[in-house]
Chain A
Amino acid sequence: MPERVIICIGTRKGLFVAEAPKTRRAFALRGPFGPGVPVYAAMLDTRGTPRLYASSCNPFFGMKVLRSTDLGKTFKETTSAPAFPKDDGRALANIWSLEAGDGRKDIWCGVEPAALFRSGDGGDSWEMVPGISNHEHARKWQPGAGGLCLHTIHRDGNRVHLGISTGGHYLSEDGGSTFRASNRGVGAGFAPDPYPEFGQCVHKIAGHTDAPGRLYMQNHGGWAEWDGPGGRRPDIGVLRSDDHGHTWRSIARGLPSDFGFPIVVHPHDADTVYVIPLEPTTRTCPGGAPAIWRSEDGGASWSRLARGLPKKQSFFTVQRDGMDVDELTSPALYFGTTTGQLWMGRDGGEEWSCLFDSLPPIHCVKVVVV
Protein backbone atom coordinates (compact mmCIF):
# COMPACT_ATOMS: atom_id res chain seq x y z
CA MET A 1 0.00 0.00 0.00
CA PRO A 2 1.48 3.40 -0.91
CA GLU A 3 2.15 5.79 1.92
CA ARG A 4 -0.83 7.90 2.91
CA VAL A 5 -0.99 10.98 5.09
CA ILE A 6 -3.90 10.83 7.54
CA ILE A 7 -4.96 13.88 9.54
CA CYS A 8 -7.43 13.68 12.39
CA ILE A 9 -9.09 17.04 12.91
CA GLY A 10 -11.01 17.38 16.16
CA THR A 11 -13.55 20.18 16.02
CA ARG A 12 -16.36 21.65 18.05
CA LYS A 13 -18.82 19.77 15.85
CA GLY A 14 -17.18 16.36 15.54
CA LEU A 15 -14.16 14.62 14.09
CA PHE A 16 -13.00 15.00 10.50
CA VAL A 17 -10.40 12.83 8.78
CA ALA A 18 -8.35 14.12 5.86
CA GLU A 19 -6.35 11.74 3.70
CA ALA A 20 -3.88 12.25 0.86
CA PRO A 21 -1.07 10.44 -0.93
CA LYS A 22 2.35 11.32 0.43
CA THR A 23 2.65 14.03 -2.23
CA ARG A 24 0.05 15.83 -0.11
CA ARG A 25 -1.32 17.46 -3.26
CA ALA A 26 -5.02 16.82 -2.62
CA PHE A 27 -6.64 15.86 0.66
CA ALA A 28 -10.00 14.11 0.74
CA LEU A 29 -12.15 14.95 3.75
CA ARG A 30 -14.43 12.54 5.63
CA GLY A 31 -16.77 13.24 8.51
CA PRO A 32 -17.98 14.55 10.75
CA PHE A 33 -17.81 11.49 12.99
CA GLY A 34 -19.59 11.88 16.30
CA PRO A 35 -21.42 14.73 14.56
CA GLY A 36 -22.19 17.79 16.60
CA VAL A 37 -20.06 16.67 19.54
CA PRO A 38 -16.76 18.40 20.45
CA VAL A 39 -13.54 16.44 19.96
CA TYR A 40 -10.57 17.62 22.01
CA ALA A 41 -8.19 14.68 21.64
CA ALA A 42 -7.18 12.27 18.90
CA MET A 43 -4.58 9.56 18.60
CA LEU A 44 -3.31 7.76 15.51
CA ASP A 45 -1.98 4.45 16.70
CA THR A 46 0.39 2.72 14.29
CA ARG A 47 1.32 -0.16 16.58
CA GLY A 48 0.18 -3.12 14.51
CA THR A 49 -2.92 -2.52 12.42
CA PRO A 50 -3.43 1.25 12.47
CA ARG A 51 -6.21 2.49 14.70
CA LEU A 52 -7.55 5.98 15.10
CA TYR A 53 -8.97 7.15 18.40
CA ALA A 54 -10.80 10.32 19.32
CA SER A 55 -12.54 11.68 22.34
CA SER A 56 -16.18 12.60 21.89
CA CYS A 57 -17.04 15.07 24.60
CA ASN A 58 -20.80 15.24 24.67
CA PRO A 59 -22.03 17.98 27.00
CA PHE A 60 -25.42 16.25 27.19
CA PHE A 61 -24.65 12.58 27.52
CA GLY A 62 -21.06 12.44 28.75
CA MET A 63 -17.67 11.43 27.46
CA LYS A 64 -17.04 8.67 24.93
CA VAL A 65 -14.01 7.32 23.09
CA LEU A 66 -14.33 6.67 19.36
CA ARG A 67 -12.19 4.07 17.58
CA SER A 68 -11.63 3.33 13.91
CA THR A 69 -9.94 0.24 12.52
CA ASP A 70 -10.28 1.26 8.86
CA LEU A 71 -8.15 4.43 8.81
CA GLY A 72 -11.00 6.70 9.67
CA LYS A 73 -13.67 5.54 7.26
CA THR A 74 -15.92 4.49 10.14
CA PHE A 75 -15.81 4.96 13.90
CA LYS A 76 -17.47 3.12 16.77
CA GLU A 77 -17.57 3.89 20.46
CA THR A 78 -15.31 1.77 22.61
CA THR A 79 -17.09 -0.38 25.18
CA SER A 80 -16.51 2.19 27.89
CA ALA A 81 -14.90 5.56 28.52
CA PRO A 82 -12.81 6.68 31.49
CA ALA A 83 -14.92 7.28 34.58
CA PHE A 84 -14.05 8.18 38.16
CA PRO A 85 -14.82 5.58 40.80
CA LYS A 86 -18.34 5.97 42.15
CA ASP A 87 -17.21 7.09 45.59
CA ASP A 88 -14.63 9.55 44.27
CA GLY A 89 -17.00 12.51 44.05
CA ARG A 90 -15.59 13.77 40.75
CA ALA A 91 -17.35 13.43 37.41
CA LEU A 92 -15.63 13.41 34.05
CA ALA A 93 -16.08 16.72 32.24
CA ASN A 94 -13.81 16.28 29.23
CA ILE A 95 -11.16 14.09 27.62
CA TRP A 96 -8.10 16.15 26.68
CA SER A 97 -5.40 13.70 25.67
CA LEU A 98 -4.93 10.20 24.32
CA GLU A 99 -1.43 8.70 24.07
CA ALA A 100 -0.04 5.28 23.27
CA GLY A 101 1.41 3.28 26.15
CA ASP A 102 3.99 0.50 26.18
CA GLY A 103 1.89 -2.50 25.28
CA ARG A 104 0.27 -2.82 21.90
CA LYS A 105 -3.15 -1.99 23.27
CA ASP A 106 -2.08 0.29 26.11
CA ILE A 107 -3.57 3.77 25.98
CA TRP A 108 -3.17 6.64 28.40
CA CYS A 109 -5.84 9.28 28.73
CA GLY A 110 -5.77 12.70 30.37
CA VAL A 111 -9.08 14.17 31.46
CA GLU A 112 -10.87 17.08 33.09
CA PRO A 113 -11.00 17.46 36.05
CA ALA A 114 -7.29 16.74 35.91
CA ALA A 115 -6.71 13.02 36.26
CA LEU A 116 -5.07 10.20 34.35
CA PHE A 117 -6.55 6.91 33.15
CA ARG A 118 -5.03 3.86 31.44
CA SER A 119 -6.50 1.19 29.23
CA GLY A 120 -4.81 -2.13 28.52
CA ASP A 121 -7.30 -3.30 25.91
CA GLY A 122 -7.42 -0.59 23.30
CA GLY A 123 -9.91 1.63 25.08
CA ASP A 124 -12.62 -0.83 26.05
CA SER A 125 -11.93 -0.62 29.78
CA TRP A 126 -10.14 2.00 31.86
CA GLU A 127 -8.54 2.35 35.27
CA MET A 128 -7.71 5.57 37.04
CA VAL A 129 -4.01 6.14 37.77
CA PRO A 130 -4.01 7.07 41.45
CA GLY A 131 -0.43 8.37 41.63
CA ILE A 132 -1.46 11.59 39.90
CA SER A 133 -5.26 11.49 40.05
CA ASN A 134 -5.19 11.29 43.85
CA HIS A 135 -1.96 13.25 44.28
CA GLU A 136 -1.89 15.34 47.43
CA HIS A 137 -1.93 18.45 45.22
CA ALA A 138 -4.91 17.33 43.12
CA ARG A 139 -7.61 19.01 45.17
CA LYS A 140 -5.59 22.24 45.19
CA TRP A 141 -5.25 22.59 41.42
CA GLN A 142 -7.35 25.38 39.94
CA PRO A 143 -9.16 25.42 36.61
CA GLY A 144 -7.92 27.83 33.97
CA ALA A 145 -10.15 29.31 31.29
CA GLY A 146 -10.15 25.96 29.49
CA GLY A 147 -11.03 24.00 32.60
CA LEU A 148 -8.84 21.97 34.95
CA CYS A 149 -7.33 19.62 32.43
CA LEU A 150 -4.57 17.06 32.16
CA HIS A 151 -3.75 17.74 28.53
CA THR A 152 -0.22 16.45 27.96
CA ILE A 153 1.18 12.96 28.43
CA HIS A 154 4.78 12.65 27.27
CA ARG A 155 6.41 9.28 27.84
CA ASP A 156 10.14 8.60 27.79
CA GLY A 157 10.85 5.08 28.94
CA ASN A 158 10.05 4.88 32.61
CA ARG A 159 9.62 8.63 32.80
CA VAL A 160 6.18 10.11 32.33
CA HIS A 161 5.74 13.87 32.00
CA LEU A 162 2.29 15.34 32.51
CA GLY A 163 1.09 18.84 31.72
CA ILE A 164 -1.79 20.14 33.79
CA SER A 165 -3.55 23.44 33.44
CA THR A 166 -3.40 24.76 36.04
CA GLY A 167 -1.29 22.32 38.00
CA GLY A 168 2.03 22.51 36.21
CA HIS A 169 4.47 19.81 35.15
CA TYR A 170 4.42 16.52 37.02
CA LEU A 171 7.09 13.88 36.57
CA SER A 172 7.07 10.17 37.25
CA GLU A 173 10.30 8.20 37.09
CA ASP A 174 8.74 4.87 37.96
CA GLY A 175 6.51 4.30 34.97
CA GLY A 176 3.56 6.26 36.29
CA SER A 177 3.18 4.84 39.78
CA THR A 178 4.19 7.99 41.61
CA PHE A 179 4.44 11.59 40.49
CA ARG A 180 5.93 14.77 41.87
CA ALA A 181 5.62 18.39 40.84
CA SER A 182 8.71 19.36 38.84
CA ASN A 183 8.44 23.04 38.05
CA ARG A 184 11.77 24.62 38.96
CA GLY A 185 12.10 27.50 36.53
CA VAL A 186 8.47 27.34 35.37
CA GLY A 187 6.90 30.70 36.13
CA ALA A 188 3.34 31.71 36.90
CA GLY A 189 1.98 35.19 36.31
CA PHE A 190 -1.26 34.75 38.17
CA ALA A 191 0.07 34.00 41.65
CA PRO A 192 1.95 36.19 44.10
CA ASP A 193 4.86 33.74 44.07
CA PRO A 194 6.30 33.87 40.54
CA TYR A 195 7.80 30.39 40.86
CA PRO A 196 5.46 28.26 42.97
CA GLU A 197 6.02 24.57 43.62
CA PHE A 198 2.94 23.77 41.53
CA GLY A 199 -0.09 25.47 40.05
CA GLN A 200 1.49 26.75 36.83
CA CYS A 201 -0.60 26.93 33.69
CA VAL A 202 1.43 24.68 31.41
CA HIS A 203 0.02 24.69 27.89
CA LYS A 204 2.02 21.94 26.14
CA ILE A 205 5.21 19.88 26.49
CA ALA A 206 7.14 18.21 23.66
CA GLY A 207 10.33 16.25 23.22
CA HIS A 208 12.31 14.13 20.77
CA THR A 209 13.71 10.64 21.14
CA ASP A 210 17.09 11.75 19.70
CA ALA A 211 17.62 14.12 22.61
CA PRO A 212 16.79 12.20 25.76
CA GLY A 213 16.40 14.51 28.68
CA ARG A 214 15.52 17.53 26.60
CA LEU A 215 11.98 18.89 26.72
CA TYR A 216 10.34 22.00 25.35
CA MET A 217 7.40 23.68 27.06
CA GLN A 218 4.86 26.27 26.04
CA ASN A 219 3.83 27.78 29.34
CA HIS A 220 1.24 30.48 29.99
CA GLY A 221 3.32 33.56 29.25
CA GLY A 222 2.34 37.12 28.57
CA TRP A 223 3.25 38.56 31.95
CA ALA A 224 5.96 41.01 30.91
CA GLU A 225 3.82 44.02 31.80
CA TRP A 226 2.50 42.64 35.08
CA ASP A 227 2.96 45.26 37.80
CA GLY A 228 1.43 43.51 40.79
CA PRO A 229 3.10 41.63 43.65
CA GLY A 230 6.25 39.89 42.58
CA GLY A 231 6.92 42.27 39.69
CA ARG A 232 7.27 41.72 35.96
CA ARG A 233 7.68 38.19 34.70
CA PRO A 234 8.97 38.38 31.14
CA ASP A 235 9.85 35.39 29.03
CA ILE A 236 8.34 32.70 31.24
CA GLY A 237 6.20 31.39 28.39
CA VAL A 238 8.59 29.28 26.30
CA LEU A 239 10.96 27.01 28.19
CA ARG A 240 13.44 24.20 27.79
CA SER A 241 14.72 21.49 30.10
CA ASP A 242 17.91 19.50 29.60
CA ASP A 243 17.60 17.27 32.64
CA HIS A 244 14.40 15.32 32.06
CA GLY A 245 12.20 18.10 33.32
CA HIS A 246 13.85 18.59 36.70
CA THR A 247 14.72 22.21 35.88
CA TRP A 248 13.57 24.59 33.16
CA ARG A 249 14.98 27.75 31.58
CA SER A 250 13.53 30.36 29.26
CA ILE A 251 14.10 30.21 25.51
CA ALA A 252 11.54 32.92 24.75
CA ARG A 253 13.96 35.69 23.76
CA GLY A 254 13.46 36.68 20.14
CA LEU A 255 9.78 35.78 19.96
CA PRO A 256 7.16 38.52 19.43
CA SER A 257 5.19 37.10 22.34
CA ASP A 258 5.88 34.37 24.85
CA PHE A 259 2.18 33.47 24.98
CA GLY A 260 0.90 30.60 22.89
CA PHE A 261 -0.54 27.14 23.13
CA PRO A 262 1.09 24.41 20.98
CA ILE A 263 4.78 23.54 20.77
CA VAL A 264 6.02 20.96 18.26
CA VAL A 265 9.44 19.42 17.58
CA HIS A 266 10.72 18.59 14.09
CA PRO A 267 10.51 14.82 13.58
CA HIS A 268 14.11 14.51 12.31
CA ASP A 269 15.91 17.25 14.25
CA ALA A 270 15.63 17.64 18.00
CA ASP A 271 17.05 21.18 17.76
CA THR A 272 14.19 22.42 15.59
CA VAL A 273 11.08 23.49 17.45
CA TYR A 274 7.97 25.40 16.42
CA VAL A 275 5.60 27.70 18.33
CA ILE A 276 2.74 30.02 17.41
CA PRO A 277 3.08 33.24 19.41
CA LEU A 278 -0.21 34.93 20.25
CA GLU A 279 -1.18 38.25 21.80
CA PRO A 280 -1.66 37.43 25.48
CA THR A 281 -4.74 39.60 25.91
CA THR A 282 -6.69 38.42 22.86
CA ARG A 283 -4.94 35.07 22.26
CA THR A 284 -4.86 35.92 18.56
CA CYS A 285 -2.10 36.44 16.03
CA PRO A 286 0.07 39.51 16.73
CA GLY A 287 -0.99 42.38 14.48
CA GLY A 288 -3.55 40.20 12.78
CA ALA A 289 -0.73 38.55 10.79
CA PRO A 290 -0.33 34.89 11.77
CA ALA A 291 3.08 33.26 11.74
CA ILE A 292 4.79 30.15 12.96
CA TRP A 293 8.11 30.77 14.65
CA ARG A 294 10.90 28.24 14.28
CA SER A 295 14.09 27.75 16.19
CA GLU A 296 16.76 25.56 14.61
CA ASP A 297 19.15 25.81 17.54
CA GLY A 298 17.08 24.54 20.40
CA GLY A 299 15.57 27.90 21.26
CA ALA A 300 18.66 30.12 21.13
CA SER A 301 17.21 32.07 18.22
CA TRP A 302 13.91 32.22 16.33
CA SER A 303 12.79 32.99 12.80
CA ARG A 304 9.36 33.85 11.44
CA LEU A 305 7.62 31.57 8.93
CA ALA A 306 4.63 33.15 7.23
CA ARG A 307 4.92 32.64 3.46
CA GLY A 308 1.41 31.92 2.22
CA LEU A 309 -0.33 32.86 5.47
CA PRO A 310 -2.61 35.92 5.64
CA LYS A 311 -0.69 39.17 6.01
CA LYS A 312 -3.43 41.08 7.81
CA GLN A 313 -6.91 40.98 9.34
CA SER A 314 -6.50 37.48 10.67
CA PHE A 315 -7.36 37.03 14.32
CA PHE A 316 -7.61 33.33 15.01
CA THR A 317 -6.30 31.23 17.87
CA VAL A 318 -4.50 27.91 17.57
CA GLN A 319 -5.27 25.77 20.59
CA ARG A 320 -2.86 23.56 22.54
CA ASP A 321 -3.30 20.46 20.39
CA GLY A 322 -3.97 22.38 17.22
CA MET A 323 -0.56 21.86 15.57
CA ASP A 324 1.30 18.73 14.46
CA VAL A 325 3.99 17.68 11.99
CA ASP A 326 4.20 14.65 9.73
CA GLU A 327 7.23 12.37 9.50
CA LEU A 328 7.94 12.40 5.78
CA THR A 329 11.52 13.16 4.70
CA SER A 330 10.65 16.80 4.18
CA PRO A 331 7.97 17.12 6.83
CA ALA A 332 4.93 19.35 6.66
CA LEU A 333 3.46 21.19 9.60
CA TYR A 334 -0.27 21.43 10.06
CA PHE A 335 -2.32 23.72 12.26
CA GLY A 336 -6.03 24.21 12.77
CA THR A 337 -7.64 27.45 13.86
CA THR A 338 -10.56 28.49 15.97
CA THR A 339 -11.97 29.96 12.76
CA GLY A 340 -12.11 26.52 11.16
CA GLN A 341 -9.13 26.66 8.83
CA LEU A 342 -6.64 23.85 8.43
CA TRP A 343 -3.24 25.05 7.19
CA MET A 344 -0.33 22.98 5.90
CA GLY A 345 3.25 24.25 5.81
CA ARG A 346 5.46 22.29 3.41
CA ASP A 347 9.20 21.97 3.89
CA GLY A 348 8.99 22.32 7.63
CA GLY A 349 6.74 25.35 7.48
CA GLU A 350 8.46 27.28 4.68
CA GLU A 351 5.40 27.47 2.40
CA TRP A 352 1.83 27.52 3.71
CA SER A 353 -1.44 26.70 2.05
CA CYS A 354 -4.97 26.38 3.39
CA LEU A 355 -6.30 22.84 3.01
CA PHE A 356 -9.80 23.51 4.34
CA ASP A 357 -11.20 26.92 5.19
CA SER A 358 -14.68 26.38 6.59
CA LEU A 359 -14.55 23.63 9.16
CA PRO A 360 -16.03 24.12 12.61
CA PRO A 361 -13.66 25.62 15.21
CA ILE A 362 -10.69 23.27 15.48
CA HIS A 363 -9.52 21.90 18.84
CA CYS A 364 -6.89 19.36 17.79
CA VAL A 365 -4.88 18.21 14.79
CA LYS A 366 -2.99 14.90 14.70
CA VAL A 367 -1.20 13.54 11.66
CA VAL A 368 0.37 10.22 10.79
CA VAL A 369 1.90 8.60 7.72
CA VAL A 370 0.74 5.02 7.17
Chain B
Amino acid sequence: MTITIAVPGVLRDRCGGAAELVLPAPSVREALEQIERRYPALYRCVCDETGSVRRHVNLFVNAAHVRDREGLDTALVTGDVVTILPAVSGG
Protein backbone atom coordinates (compact mmCIF):
# COMPACT_ATOMS: atom_id res chain seq x y z
CA MET B 1 0.00 0.00 0.00
CA THR B 2 1.33 3.37 -0.97
CA ILE B 3 1.02 6.20 1.50
CA THR B 4 2.25 9.77 1.65
CA ILE B 5 4.33 11.39 4.38
CA ALA B 6 3.75 15.15 4.64
CA VAL B 7 6.97 16.81 5.80
CA PRO B 8 6.81 20.21 7.54
CA GLY B 9 8.81 23.00 5.93
CA VAL B 10 11.29 23.17 8.80
CA LEU B 11 12.38 19.57 8.17
CA ARG B 12 12.45 19.46 4.39
CA ASP B 13 16.19 20.08 4.18
CA ARG B 14 16.57 16.66 5.84
CA CYS B 15 14.97 14.86 2.89
CA GLY B 16 16.28 16.69 -0.13
CA GLY B 17 13.71 19.46 0.05
CA ALA B 18 10.72 17.17 -0.51
CA ALA B 19 7.40 18.32 0.90
CA GLU B 20 5.98 14.83 0.50
CA LEU B 21 7.48 11.37 0.56
CA VAL B 22 5.61 8.57 -1.13
CA LEU B 23 6.40 5.09 0.10
CA PRO B 24 4.81 1.70 0.70
CA ALA B 25 4.08 1.02 4.36
CA PRO B 26 1.42 -1.04 6.14
CA SER B 27 1.78 0.83 9.45
CA VAL B 28 3.13 4.02 10.93
CA ARG B 29 5.98 2.06 12.51
CA GLU B 30 6.98 0.64 9.13
CA ALA B 31 6.78 4.11 7.60
CA LEU B 32 9.18 5.43 10.25
CA GLU B 33 11.54 2.51 9.68
CA GLN B 34 11.65 3.35 6.01
CA ILE B 35 12.33 6.99 6.81
CA GLU B 36 15.17 5.89 9.10
CA ARG B 37 16.74 3.92 6.27
CA ARG B 38 16.23 6.47 3.50
CA TYR B 39 16.41 9.77 5.36
CA PRO B 40 18.27 9.21 8.65
CA ALA B 41 18.61 12.94 9.37
CA LEU B 42 14.84 13.35 9.08
CA TYR B 43 14.25 10.30 11.24
CA ARG B 44 16.49 11.68 14.00
CA CYS B 45 14.31 14.79 14.10
CA VAL B 46 11.14 12.75 14.51
CA CYS B 47 12.33 9.95 16.80
CA ASP B 48 14.94 9.78 19.56
CA GLU B 49 17.57 7.07 20.07
CA THR B 50 15.08 4.78 21.80
CA GLY B 51 12.81 4.81 18.76
CA SER B 52 10.15 6.89 20.51
CA VAL B 53 8.53 9.74 18.67
CA ARG B 54 9.92 12.93 20.18
CA ARG B 55 7.75 14.48 22.86
CA HIS B 56 7.02 17.64 20.93
CA VAL B 57 6.43 16.02 17.56
CA ASN B 58 2.94 14.91 16.56
CA LEU B 59 2.06 12.32 13.95
CA PHE B 60 -1.34 12.33 12.30
CA VAL B 61 -2.87 9.72 10.02
CA ASN B 62 -5.15 11.80 7.86
CA ALA B 63 -6.87 13.93 10.54
CA ALA B 64 -6.38 11.59 13.50
CA HIS B 65 -3.47 11.79 15.94
CA VAL B 66 -1.80 8.40 16.19
CA ARG B 67 -2.24 8.46 19.96
CA ASP B 68 -5.98 8.32 19.35
CA ARG B 69 -5.51 5.34 17.06
CA GLU B 70 -3.10 2.51 17.77
CA GLY B 71 0.05 4.59 18.15
CA LEU B 72 2.92 3.45 15.97
CA ASP B 73 1.00 0.26 15.23
CA THR B 74 -1.74 2.22 13.48
CA ALA B 75 -2.47 0.44 10.21
CA LEU B 76 -2.21 2.36 6.96
CA VAL B 77 -4.08 1.84 3.72
CA THR B 78 -3.33 3.10 0.26
CA GLY B 79 -3.93 6.82 -0.01
CA ASP B 80 -3.39 7.61 3.68
CA VAL B 81 -1.43 10.72 4.51
CA VAL B 82 0.85 10.68 7.55
CA THR B 83 1.57 14.25 8.62
CA ILE B 84 4.57 15.16 10.77
CA LEU B 85 3.92 18.33 12.78
CA PRO B 86 5.81 20.01 15.60
CA ALA B 87 3.66 20.71 18.63
CA VAL B 88 2.47 24.23 19.25
CA SER B 89 4.75 26.26 21.49
CA GLY B 90 4.89 29.61 23.17
CA GLY B 91 7.48 31.78 24.86
Contacts and interface: CB of A to CB of B under 8 A. Distances in A.
A32 to B, nearest CB: 15
Contacts of B44: 61-62, 81, 83
B87 interface: yes
A2 interface: no
Interface string A79-98: 00101111011111000000
A83 B36 CA distance: 15
Nearest to B56: A60
Interface residues of A, number: 14
A88 B49 contact: yes
A59 interface: yes
Interface of A: 59-62, 81, 83-86, 88-92
Contacts of B10: 61
Contact of A62 (B48, B51, B87, B89): B48
Contacts of B89: 59-60
Nearest to B11: A61
A149 B11 CA distance: 28
B49 A60 contact: no
A91 B48 contact: yes
Contact of B45 (A61, A84, A86): A61
B64 to A, nearest CB: 21
A61 B57 CA distance: 7
B54 A61 contact: yes
B26 interface: no
A61 B86 contact: yes
Contact of B54 (A60, A83, A86): A60
B52 A60 contact: no
Contacts of B48: 62, 91-92
B1 to A, nearest CB: 27
Nearest to B14: A61
Given A60-B87, A61-B11, 6 more contacts: A59-B56, A61-B45, A61-B54, A62-B45, A81-B44, A90-B49
Contacts of A92: 48-49
| Best-buried of A61, A62, A88, A92 by chain B (most CB within 10 Å) | A61
B54 A84 contact: no
A277 B83 CA distance: 49
Nearest to B57: A60
B50 A91 contact: yes
Contacts of A89: 50
A59 B87 CA distance: 10
B57 A86 contact: no
Contacts of A85: 49
Contacts of B87: 60
